[in-house]
A and B are shown apart, each in its own frame.
Chain A
């Protein structure tokens, strides 16, 4: 309301972009950082103990790939979640930073150490040529593994307390988040999942590095069998962990949902998501199980492409998992404090009585008249709906309204206005409408117009901003003069 509205109409407003960036980040971070670092460290240690330079060299070459990907796409998608959220929901990220400052700060410190350690570990690998140097080098790998796990554990906590009802004592909220019934199952699930997918990633990349003979790789077949045999053990063990924690999570979710939300969020959408999660988890684990058992056989029975099946399934699973986290938060962006469209819980009644337009900054008009109704409605849409809906594109209101009211008959404006006034009651994942009756009417006028004249709604990044003068009583204007 107080920030220019960045908006990408065709992409569900831009939320899709945040979603894509965040999913990419998780998909890289889990297997390649949290999962792969400990496994690679373990390979280095084993090679050192058993004097197997070929194993060491293989670990080094896989680390190269991990290093490149995590320090480019991995790091930048992490920062990217923040950069894109700043555009799309500045009110939310701005508030979160004020409330959970120390959590983020701590996260940053751990992240610095993680980056420094991966640089150090990878770039000094080949310089560690003596046993005592090697031992020190292995310790760097251990420290790196711990730090990258810690980064994840902290992030999960930060995300966890976003769902917590507003408790502003942040240290308490931080511990509350960690003792949240979902925290441990979630963390355990992610940890084992990361190791399991990390193992499959190592396995997959070892195909590429065990093709040719080399000075450091005299017997590629033996090397490949060595690694596949061991990685299949890792897959099978972490599979048990993923199953156990995934089930715990599955059982804990409904209880937590009931406890955490004032309105019953257990809507059909949620229940169907919940069942899908279970099914997906089952199939993913079966795929991993088959790969793991196949690998035990020591033969190279498992062809390279077969590894892609569990990988694709796990991408799907984790995407589903992340989407649900988002979903469970609705209609809040910060639990019990701020709705997804930036309206605070405690100002809702105020705005409903005084009006959105009166108190917003970037609107064209303060008073609705017959002639500016549609323009006002557009501003109201931008303020109240645009953080979740596009106009005519993905998750578009017109599409939703058409599903409700039918494509070929006129829509009843009075009915639509009623729906908007009660939208939180009928669809609990939508926030209540934060404006007056007249404003709901203007919104309906805009939606009707949009139906007959579909037109994309440009955001502030291309159309700029318009600022209507603040609606004040004349006597007050004098002392509100900014002294610039």
Chain B
């Protein structure tokens, strides 16, 4: 089956050991990634809430004030999303060096675009936040809304690039088909994963805001017409219904996953996570039925359960990745070892071979032959010309070669050859003069 080998690239890994034990990196990857994705969720979901509430605010001012308040959280969460992204990036670079960088390169244009797109999105969120009170009416308000929407759309798009990479790295057998970023989206199940992620963003932001507005020292005096319990109920509701929806999207992701990495273990982890999810949902709907004085008293248990669910999904994801790439990793390891062995053999023989006696004048002269031919001008003047200038003066050639000057305006600069050493240059010079004299 040589055709199979041809389609699955088996590169060599970097010949350096991991700096920390693999299991530690795995733990770090899963945990750091979840922290990162939480802030990303809050940034993306927050931008949606801001846009929706600002739009509702056109009819009723109280929503506008709420939108402004949420906008304050987005700009903080976005900064944390960026810094917290560095840790998991560090881990994934180390654990999946070959797969990750290959996916990056294959989607290179989009990958590079991340930088300007994020910068623009961030600047727009600031502009949106800080012009809230000054661009409050008429045309200016429309512009203001347009800015919010643009930032939101950018926040919608940027995760697609990361998702494309996270997805593509899993399927080396498909790499050969990829022609740029957009074609990479046809591989695996990017769309269901994206929807799952977006829903999680809304749900997580709902949960976050329910806690944010319900916290003990929350000051909502400037949000007239809203009460704390009311806001809490509102955001709980968003969280609850969207999470309910995840019970449709989650299975969609699972069943559209290419079978490469599906193992019983993956199923067990994911379904246990889903079971905890059901429990969480039950608690959430229970909260919604409570009256205003008691709503929110189960906030922390709910948040804790959510963390367990998310941790379960994150681990399931990792187990799938490991299973999907197990064969590829093994093949890479095999090839890397075979190469290292061949290399070591070669270098051993090389070291054992008798050291070449100092290079002969002819060999040394090869350094110069590239540019100096006996009697035609190549890059530099011909040897005949040199022999005329330096007849009986090899030392002059040595001096020149160590630090060449600039004489002939029509020729490029000659590079210095100080590194060959005095003795070698001397040999060269003598040979040069000899050749120059004989090739008239």
Interface residues of B in 73-124 (CB under 8 A from A): 76, 79-80, 82-87, 89-90, 93-94, 97-98, 100-102, 104-109, 111-112, 114-115, 118-119, 122-123
B20 partner residues in chain A, CB cutoff 8 A:
101
Is the CB of B188 closer than 8 A to any CB of chain A? no
Chain B nearest Cβ from A78, distance in angstroms: 9
In the complex the two chains form, what is the Cα distance from A86 to B82 in whole Å?
17
Closest approach, in angstroms, between the C-beta of A276 and any C-beta of chain B? 16
Q: Is A422 an interface position by the 8 A CB rule?
A: yes
Whether, in the assembled complex, A419 has its beta carbon less than 8 Å from a beta carbon of chain B, the answer is yes
Q: A73 contacts which of B119, B176, B370, B373 (Cβ < 8 Å)?
A: B119
Cβ-defined contact, B335 with A480, below 8 A: yes
In the complex, the answer to whether B14 meets A98 with C-beta atoms within 8 Å is yes
B94–A101 touching, CB < 8 Å:
yes
Among the 9-residue stretches A44-52, A423-431, A437-445, the one with 4 or more Cβ atoms under 8 Å from chain B is A423-431
Cβ–Cβ contact B106 & A466, under 8 A: no
Q: Contacts A90-B104, A405-B379, A466-B176 known; A482 to B415 CB distance under 8 Å?
A: no
Contact call A4/B14, Cβ cutoff below 8 A? no
**A159 contacts B by Cβ under 8 Å:** no
Q: A3-B98, A79-B115, A460-B105 are in contact. List 10 more A-B contacts (CB 8 A).
A: A4-B175, A21-B115, A93-B93, A108-B83, A267-B416, A268-B415, A347-B343, A404-B379, A418-B370, A460-B108
Contact partner of A426 (CB less than 8 A), chosen from B90, B106, B347, B370, is: B370
By the criterion CB–CB under 8 Å, are A99 and B19 in contact? Answer: yes
Of the residues A108, A346, A462, A483, contact of B330 by C-beta under 8 Å: A483
- Measured CB to CB, the closest approach of chain B to A361, in angstroms, equals 4
B32 closest partner in A (C-beta): A108
Residues in B with CB closer than 8 Å to A90 are 97, 101, 104-105
Q: Which residues of B contact A68 (CB under 8 A)?
A: 123, 126
Contact A87 B370 (CB under 8 A): no
A72: contacting residue among B122, B334, B347, B350, CB under 8 A? B122
Complex partner residue of B76 from A123, A353, A428, A467, CB under 8 angstroms: A123
Please report the C-alpha to C-alpha distance between residue A78 and residue B373 in the assembled complex, in whole angstroms: 50
Partner of B415, one of A267, A354, A480: A267
CB <8 Å contact, A2 and B11: yes
The stretch of B177-185, B194-202, B229-237 in contact with A is B177-185
The answer to whether B102 and A82 touch across the interface, beta carbons within 8 angstroms, is no
A-B contact pairs, 19 of them (CB 8 A): A3-B101, A71-B122, A72-B122, A72-B123, A82-B89, A84-B115, A87-B104, A90-B105, A94-B97, A98-B17, A108-B86, A111-B83, A268-B415, A349-B346, A349-B347, A425-B420, A460-B106, A461-B111, A482-B330
Least CB distance from B163 to A in Å reads 16
B419-A264 in contact (CB<8A): yes
Interface size class of A (residues with CB under 8 A): 35 or more
B352 at the interface (CB under 8 A from A): no
Q: Report the separation of the CA atoms of residues A77 and B116 in the bound assembly, to the nearest whole angstrom.
A: 9
B14 touches A91 (CB 8 A): yes
A119–B101 alpha-carbon span in the complex (Å) = 32
Given contacts A79-B85, A105-B90, A112-B83, contact A4 B76 (CB under 8 A): no
At the interface, yes or no: A218 with Cβ under 8 Å from chain B? no
User: B residues 196-248 with Cβ under 8 Å of A?
Assistant: none
With contact pairs A72-B122, A469-B5, A484-B8 given, residues A94 and B369 touching in the complex (Cβ less than 8 Å):
no
Q: Among B112, B378, B416, find the residue whose CB has the most chain A CB atoms closer than 10 A.
A: B112
B342: chain A residues within 8 A (beta carbon): 350
Please indicate the chain A residues that have their CB under 8 angstroms from the CB of B8 in the complex: 467, 482, 484
* Proximity string of chain B (2-13) to chain A, C-beta cutoff 8 Å, 1 when within and 0 when not: 101111111111
A residues 352-404 near B (Cβ < 8 Å) are 353-354, 359, 361-362, 403-404
B105 in complex: contacting residue of A4, A71, A95, A119, CB < 8 Å: A4
Establish whether residues B416 and A268, one from each chain, have CB atoms under 8 Å apart when the complex forms: yes
Q: Does residue B285 face the partner (Cβ distance < 8 Å to A)?
A: no
Chain B nearest Cβ from A425, distance in angstroms: 5
A83 to B116, CA, bound (A): 12
Contact of A332 with B by CB under 8 A: no
Known: A76-B118, A76-B119, A268-B413. A482 touches B126 (CB 8 A): no
Give the interface of B toward A (CB within 8 A).
Answer: 1-2, 4-20, 76, 79-80, 82-87, 89-90, 93-94, 97-98, 100-102, 104-109, 111-112, 114-115, 118-119, 122-123, 126, 173, 175-181, 260, 327-328, 330-331, 334-335, 338-339, 342-343, 346-347, 350, 366-367, 369-371, 373, 378-379, 412-413, 415-420
| Identity of the chain B residue whose Cβ is nearest the Cβ of A84 in the assembled complex | B112
B14/A349 in contact, CB under 8 A: no
Contacts of A102 in B (CB 8 A): 19
Q: B366 contacts A418, CB within 8 Å?
A: yes
A103 CB, min distance to chain B CBs, angstroms: 10
State whether the Cβ of A223 lies closer than 8 Å to any Cβ in chain B. Answer: no
A263 to B, closest residue via Cβ: B419
Q: Fill in one digit per residue for A60-76: 1 if any B CB lies within 8 Å of its CB, else 0.
A: 00000000100111011
What's the minimum C-beta distance from A157 to chain B, rounded to whole angstroms? 17
Whether A94 contacts B79 by the Cβ 8 Å rule is: no
Q: How far is the CA of A346 from the CA of B342 in the complex (A)?
A: 12
Identify which of A3, A5, A17, A464 contacts B177 (C-beta below 8 A).
A464
- CB < 8 Å neighbour of A482 from B85, B107, B327, B417: B327
User: When each residue 397-421 of chain A gets 1 if its CB lies under 8 Å from chain B and 0 otherwise, what string results?
Assistant: 0000001110000001001001100
In the complex, what residue of chain B is closest to A99 when comparing beta carbons?
Answer: B16
- Assembled-state Cα–Cα distance A461/B104 (Å): 9
Q: How long is the Cα–Cα vector from A263 to B417 in the complex, in angstroms?
A: 10
Q: How far is the CA of A77 from the CA of B79 in the complex (A)?
A: 13
In the bound complex, CA of A403 to CA of B371 (Å): 12
Residues of A within 8 A of B367 (CB): 422, 425-426
User: Which residues of chain A from 1 to 23 have a CB within 8 Å of any chain B CB?
Assistant: 1-6, 17, 21
Q: Which chain A positions have C-beta within 8 A of B12?
A: 1-2, 359, 361
Expressed in whole angstroms, the Cα–Cα distance for A203 and B109 within the complex equals: 39
- Alpha-carbon separation in the docked complex, A80 to B20 (Å): 25
